[in-house]
Structure 1
């Protein structure tokens, strides 16, 4: 499985600058119960890589995917959300059994 940051980078690279700004705005809101928002100052002037790093630090890999799916759906980026979910789920089920 590709690591979550790699999956998310591929997803965020599909967003134009205005959409990325909207995505980051959603991160500053209390979006999903149990997940804290990220303060605006911590996302100010961040590029895609820095945003992903901050998300993984804040939410962990699984939480990052959950938050990303929620935001993408709120932005009506349903195809991107579906692709991210499928790639993440595919990785989860193809992990070698220990």
Structure 2
């Protein structure tokens, strides 16, 4: 759960149009839904950038690879 809160912090830091209240009680699915609403097809690119910023490089690469293969 802590990783999700850190991810949301990075998301709000880089995207000021997201309010604290929108992310306060958001679980993973709600966070992803909000990102897709905001960024559309760029949501995965934004997720990868945030994961890299968090030094979650393996997860970022896995997400990127799965997305390229159309697994998502």
- TM-score with structure 1 setting the length: 0.66
**More helix, by proportion:** 2
Return the index of the structure with the highest Cα Rg.
1
Structure 1 position 18 matched with structure 2 position 7: no
Gaps of 5+ in 1: 1-16, 93-98
Gaps of 5+ in 2: none
What are the residue-to-residue correspondences of 1:13-92 with 2, within 5 Å?
Answer: 17-30=1-14, 37-60=17-40, 62-91=41-70
Quick one: higher RCO (CA 8 Å, sep 6+), 1 or 2? Answer: 1
Take 1:37 and 1:82, find their aligned partners in 2: how far apart are those partners? 27
Q: Residue 55 of structure 2: SS of its match in structure 1? A: coil
Q: How many residues align?
A: 71
Flag as ranges the 4+ runs of structure 1 deviating above 3 A.
none
